[in-house]
Amino acid sequence: MNADQLTLGTTPTTPKQDAEPTLRIRAVMLGDRINAAGLEIGQRVSSTPAAFRVHAGLAVIFRYGVVVLIGLLPSEEKVFIDNLKPRVIGEFSPYEEETAQAQLCHDENAEAIQPGGPICLAKFSVDRLLLIADALAKSTSLARDERRVAAVFDVIEPFARKLAEKGRTPRERKGMLQLIGNALLVQQRVAGRVAVAEKPDVLWEKPELDRLYSRLEDEYELKERLETLERKLKAVSETANALTDIIDTQRSLRLEVAVVVLIVIEVVIGCIQILAGTH
């Protein structure tokens, strides 16, 4: 078998069938991180990301918590994920996941992605499958981050409405700081750990596959979703900071009023003592 080609794990076909062989591809986000250091679960075919031949398919592990399983049976996927759990940091429940289908088209010029259909590949080479794994893993991670940011919007929206309608702000400064913290965590994850905007390492060695990856980026709208997510993160951060500044200003005002009141009380007490001493 060609070391660069995945020929097993495809959906079987017979000479009477017109359908081309297909591969089931499943991306599962298990947690915040996966520690793949020193992991040996089969023949390693890639170091960045860590990819191994497992059974009749391929398993690609991304350090930001996603594993992409290609050409494995559901039972094999479950066993693999169970064995990988001890290396998962910050495990999620439930998992985030996406699936795709890859199909042979036998013509490199015909490689394309039909909307809602399979990903057509000239061959099931490891390089091509790594590109699909990269795009699908990023899409899965973005989906979770999009939900997290949406949840932050759901929390911050009542605060902003209360400020607009009644001119009052919430007193829970801790809640504001938590919103800022959540926004910063998502921002750090997207920009640093996941690096959605960066192209996979395999393109440095196989630049001829750049067109295929561009099609994958378009199919999963990676750039557009990243830009939208960054705009929302900026809005959340600015809103939370503005509310926090208002709360701090109000607290400072109350503190100044308290200081003035104490000074007045002290002056009054001093005056009373002076008047009492004159009699």
CATH (one of 3.40.50, 2.40.50, 3.30.310, 1.10.260) for 22-125: 3.30.310
pLDDT tens readout for residues 229-261: 888 888 877 777 777 777 777 677 778 788 888
pLDDT at 6: 61
- Adjacent-strand bridge partners of 51: 46, 60
pLDDT at 83: 92
Beta-strand relationship, 43-46 and 22-34: unpaired
Do 37 and 31 touch, CB atoms closer than 8 A?
A: no
Residue appearing with tokens 């991306």: 27
Residue type, 252: S
pLDDT at 171: 58
Q: What percent of the chain has pLDDT over 70?
A: 83
Read off the pLDDT band of 130 (50, 70, 90): very high
What torsion do the CA atoms of 188, 194, 200, 204 make, to the nearest 10 degrees? 30
**Higher pLDDT pick, 42 / 168:** 42
pLDDT exceeds cutoff 60 at 78: yes
pLDDT tens readout for residues 47-68: 989 999 998 899 999 999 999 9
| Extents of the domains making up the chain | 22-125, 143-260
Q: What are phi and psi of 137, to 5 degrees?
A: -65, -45
pLDDT at 75: 94
Read off the pLDDT band of 17 (50, 70, 90): very low
Q: How does the average pLDDT of the chain come out, rounded?
A: 82
pLDDT at 108: 67
Angstrom distances, CA of residue 30 to CA of 25, 80, 90, 113, 177:
16, 12, 8, 27, 27
